[in-house]
Amino acid sequence: MPDPEHTEPIPTQQPLKGMYSDWFLDYASYVILERAVPHINDGLKPVQRRILHSLKEKDDGRFNKVANIIGHTMQYHPHGDQAIGDALVNMGQKELVVDTQGNWGNVLTGDSAAAPRYIETRLSKFANEVLFNPKTTTWAASYDGRNKEPVSLPAKFPLVLAHGAEGIAVGLACKILPHNFNELIDACISVLRKEEFEIFPDFMQGGIADVSEYNDGLRGGKIRVRAKIERAKARHLIIREIPYGTTASSLCDSILKANEKGKVRVSRLEDCTAEHVEIHVYLPAGVDTDQMLQALYAFTDCEVSISPNACVIQDNKPRFLGVSEILQHSAKQTRALIKQEQEIRLGELEEKWHFSSLEKIFIENRIYRRIEECETWEAVIEEIWIGFKPFLKLLQRKVTEEDIVRLTEIKIKRISKYDAFKADEYIKGIEDQIAETKRNLRNLTKFTIKYYESIKERYGKDRDRRTELNSFDKVEAKQVVVANDTLYVNRKEGMAGWSMKRDEAVEKCSRLDDVIAFSRDGTMRVVKIADKVFIGKDNIVCSVFKRDEPKTYNMIYKDGRGGRAMVKRFQVSGVTRDKLYDLTKGTAGTRVLWLSEHETEEDANIIVRVHLRSDLRLRNFQIDCNFGEIAIKGRGAKGNILTKHPVDRVSRIPKAEQEEIAGSVAEEEPAEEPPKKK
């Protein structure tokens, strides 16, 4: 038997469900923090930060092959080279933090970049100035512990708002739209001055944007962006700028697709895009140019709707912040970083002044001669200390043993060529720099504003707004759709569509319309129009369905095989496509005796004649039904009793005769003759 004192504890068992929950949470956290969402401090995702860090390590002013940069970045980024290459090309196309050389693709045409071995890159002067400072950078070990990488770069510019960002994580997504370089700097200055500001997106593709519902870039907001289209000649349009997220080729594809579906009418399309967008749209004769322009916005990518969702990593967790909050954080962070840099510079200048003063005293007062006869190191240090005692009050801080040791390292050649005048000038220059740095710290906000202004002056040229801000109404598709097709119907087979040209023509239609159809058994359905679609056999009425302009329907039906005749008036508004609606009581054998469709309620005020079957008990064999005396209800109403007697047929009374007929009550039934005596 085993010794109970040395028995190993039995490992606790964890259910698979619990393990899955923990592991999935770890995975979700990793994807959110390390892949998809940018950090608020520098506006970069980890792969972008590691690329820029690698570029800084290899920065010597010359261009580097992108393939080399990708390989170097893999020391820090534990993923494939494809992801690194794509992220680098994306940054290069933004033309801000990296300089490019070679074929880097084209955001206007959608052409991809050349292979990494053919293109070159380096850090831009702007990136070197606003993103890097090893003295203010927090470092961490890389994934394998062999190198150090920045936790976040000390960015003094809202890079995430200039670049934009998009990513899909686990349970959340990020979509920050790009903004104008100069407008971002102006907004940062407004933050420091505590002034009101507004900031809206600006896209490299240009276009016209309606930002009335931007909602500061938060969830629930949206902007609509339109292509800039000019009219060259009659029936000739030229697209000069395209919406964000589209390319010239994808825009042409959307126009051709809409043309095939009959939503727009285009005779020819030419894509001449090179350095600038130029798409020629030729319209056929007889087409209204204004209507076609609106149709392009309604049915193609000439107008797109973009839903922003600003999300950043702050305090090691994702937070949904508006672009104004992100910009305010960047402006305040820039001020704090500049303060930190000035304090570091002040300390370095004071250290320079201290040692230069020590050196001046050491040489001009010939303290170095006191150590000529010293035989031990301790004696050398002691003699220098004794020599400095009369001058200690002239210094701004205490002299340390380190300072003494550093003086002993001065070369004889430097002592022999020492120029007191130059030394005084050098110390005076350091004092001026110290005074300037202290002045900058006292007026930190003004100094930060000057920094922003200098950045704008040096790097803001040729960075004017490209996207025009304007408000425009939403184009309703049904208002601009071209009704250039005809609706045909085969009532017996119950088929309808625009391609059935051998069958009965009903009316003009467009390919966006719905079709409403009524069958003899009292059922109704609404279907999407197509080249050929089933609408129900034994069809009575088939027409284009307009939800916003409901028609009035007059109906008489026989309830069951031997039932009573019912009459109703109704309108059809809200329906579900392809759902079968029963307009009667649903009794087996029900048949519709009369159904008419009218555009307005006045047109529906007609009188029909109901012919009854022969019966010895009947005095009158016909009833005049005035629909104008029946209330209009919903389609679900079962109707009023018209007569209990069998109905042979229903016919419409001529208009001239209707005017002479007095209105009759719909519920009134014909009087029966008294039974004859036997």
CA 355 to CA 353: how far, in whole Å? Answer: 6
Q: Write down the residue that tokens 């322009």 correspond to.
A: 293
Catalytic position from the list 20, 118, 488, 553? 118
Q: Dig out the tokens for 513 from the structure.
A: 């319309």
Tokens 């016909």 identify what position?
A: 622
* Alpha carbons 76 and 86: distance in angstroms, whole number: 16
Gap between the Cα atoms of 341 and 41, Å rounded? 16
Residue 77: which residues within 8 A CB-CB, separation 6 or more?
A: 46, 47, 50, 51, 83, 84
Q: Is 244 assigned a catalytic role?
A: no
DSSP result, 333-357: HHHHHHHHHHHHHHHHHHHHHHHHH
Which is nearest to 107 in space by CA: 213, 246, 12, 300?
Answer: 246
Do residues 133 and 154 lie in contact, with contact meaning Cβ atoms separated by under 8 Å? Answer: yes
209: exposed, middle or buried (C-beta count within 10 Å: 0-12, 13-18, 19+)? buried
Task: Give the burial string for 278-291 (b: 16+ CB within 10 Å, else e).
Answer: ebebebeeebeeee
The amino acid at residue 450 is K
Q: What is the maximum span of the chain, computed from C-alpha positions, in angstroms?
A: 168
Beta-sheet pairing, 485-490 with 495-497: antiparallel
264 contacts: CB under 8 Å, gap ≥ 6: 255, 258, 292, 295, 296, 299, 300, 482
Dig out the tokens for 472 from the structure. Answer: 């425009």
Whether 546 and 510 have beta carbons less than 8 Å apart is answered as: no
> Are 159 and 44 spatial neighbours (Cβ–Cβ below 8 Å)?
yes
Asked if 76 contacts 50 with a C-beta cutoff of 8 angstroms, the reply is: yes
What count of Cα atoms within 13 Å lies in the side-chain half-sphere of residue 132?
18
> Which of the residues are catalytic?
118
